[in-house]
Chain A
Amino acid sequence: MDNEIILSARRVCKAFGPTRALVDVDVEVRKGEIRGLIGENGSGKSTFSSIVAGALGMDSGELFLRGEKYTPKSMVDAQNHGVAMIVQEAATLPGLDVASNIFTGRLEQFTKAGFLNWKEIYAKADRILADIGAPEIKGRMNIEQLNFEDRKIVEIARAMVNNPDLLIVDETTTALATKGRTLIYRLIEKMHEENKAVLFISHDLEELMEVCNTITVLRDGVIIDTLDKSNMSVDLMRSLMIGRELEGDYYRSDWNGRMTDDVLLEAKRITLRPYFKNINITLHRGEILGLGGLSNCGMHEIGRVIFGIEKTLTGEVVLHKDGRDVRIDNTVTAVNNGMAYVSKDRDKESIILNSTIRSNIVSPALKILSRTIGFISPAWEKQFSDRQIKAMSIKCRNGKQMVKELSGGNKQKVVFAKWLGTDSDVLVLDCPTRGIDVGVKADMYRLINELKHQGKGIIMISEELMELMGMSDRMMIFKDGKLAKEFDRSPDLTEQDIIEYII
Chain B
Amino acid sequence: MSTVSKNSAENLEIQARLDRKAARKNVFDMVIPYVGLIFCLVFFSIVTNGLFLSSKNLMNMIEQCFTLVIIAVGASFVYAQGNMDFSIGSACGVAQMVGGLLLLKLNFPIYIVIPVMILVPVASCLLVSLISAVFHVPVFIGSMCIRSLLAGLLTIGVAKAELIIPISDYPVLSNDAVKIITLIAVIGIGMYFFHFHRVGKWAKLIGGNQVTAAQAGVRVKNQIFLAYAILGACVGITAVFTMFRTGTVSAQSGSGIEFSMMLAIVLGGFPMSGGEKSRMVSAIVGAVTVTMLTNGLALWGIDPNIIGGIKGVIFVVIIALTYDRSAGKLVS
Q: Write the nearest CB–CB distance from A405 to chain B, whole angstroms.
A: 10
Q: Write the nearest CB–CB distance from A98 to chain B, whole angstroms.
A: 29
CB nearest to B273 among chain A residues:
A354
B216 contact set on A, CB distance < 8 A: 335, 363-364, 418
Contact A17 B276 (CB under 8 A): no
- Chain A binding surface, main DSSP class: mixed
B211: interface (CB < 8 Å): yes
| Most chain B C-beta atoms within 10 Å of own C-beta, residue among A359, A362, A366 | A366
Partner of A309 from B5, B196, B215, B277 at Cβ < 8 Å: B215
A225 contact set on B, CB distance < 8 A: 1, 3
**Which of A87-95, A204-212, A249-257, A370-378 interfaces with chain B?**
A370-378
CB nearest to B201 among chain A residues:
A366
A354-B276 in contact given A225-B1, A349-B212 (Cβ < 8 Å): yes
Partner of B6 from A220, A309, A334, A374 at Cβ < 8 Å: A220
**B: interface residue count bin:** 35 or more
Contact A18 B197 (CB under 8 A): no
Q: Write the nearest CB–CB distance from B33 to chain A, whole angstroms.
A: 20
B22: interface (CB < 8 Å): yes
Q: Write the nearest CB–CB distance from B3 to chain A, whole angstroms.
A: 7
B18 contact set on A, CB distance < 8 A: 15, 17-20
Contact A17 B4 (CB under 8 A): no
Which of chain B's residues 212-243 have a Cβ closer than 8 Å to chain A?
212-219
Q: Write the nearest CB–CB distance from A220 to chain B, whole angstroms.
A: 6
For A197-226 the 0/1 string (1 means CB < 8 A from B) is 000000000000000000000001111111
Partner of B276 from A341, A350, A352 at Cβ < 8 Å: A352
A76: interface (CB < 8 Å): no
B134 contact set on A, CB distance < 8 A: none
Which of chain A's residues 329-365 have a Cβ closer than 8 Å to chain B?
331-332, 334-336, 341, 343, 348-356, 359, 362-364
Partner of A352 from B15, B219, B275 at Cβ < 8 Å: B275
Contact A20 B209 (CB under 8 A): no
Contact B14 A20 (CB under 8 A): yes
CB nearest to A358 among chain B residues:
B276
Contact A352 B198 (CB under 8 A): no
Contact B212 A352 (CB under 8 A): yes
B52: interface (CB < 8 Å): no
B121: interface (CB < 8 Å): no
A375-B196 in contact given A223-B3, A343-B215 (Cβ < 8 Å): yes
Which residues of A are at the interface with B, using a C-beta cutoff of 8 A?
Answer: 13, 15, 17-20, 23-24, 220-226, 307, 309, 331-332, 334-336, 341, 343, 348-356, 359, 362-364, 366-367, 370, 374-378, 418
Which residues of B are at the interface with A, using a C-beta cutoff of 8 A?
Answer: 1, 3-6, 11, 14-15, 18-19, 21-22, 196-199, 201-202, 204-205, 208-209, 211-219, 275-277, 327
* Contact sample, A vs B, 8 pairs, CB 8 Å cutoff: A20-B18, A24-B4, A226-B1, A335-B215, A352-B213, A353-B208, A366-B202, A375-B196
Q: A224-B3, A349-B212, A363-B216 are in contact. List 15 more A-B contacts (CB 8 A).
A: A23-B4, A222-B4, A223-B1, A223-B4, A331-B215, A349-B209, A352-B212, A353-B209, A354-B208, A355-B204, A355-B275, A355-B276, A356-B276, A363-B213, A366-B198
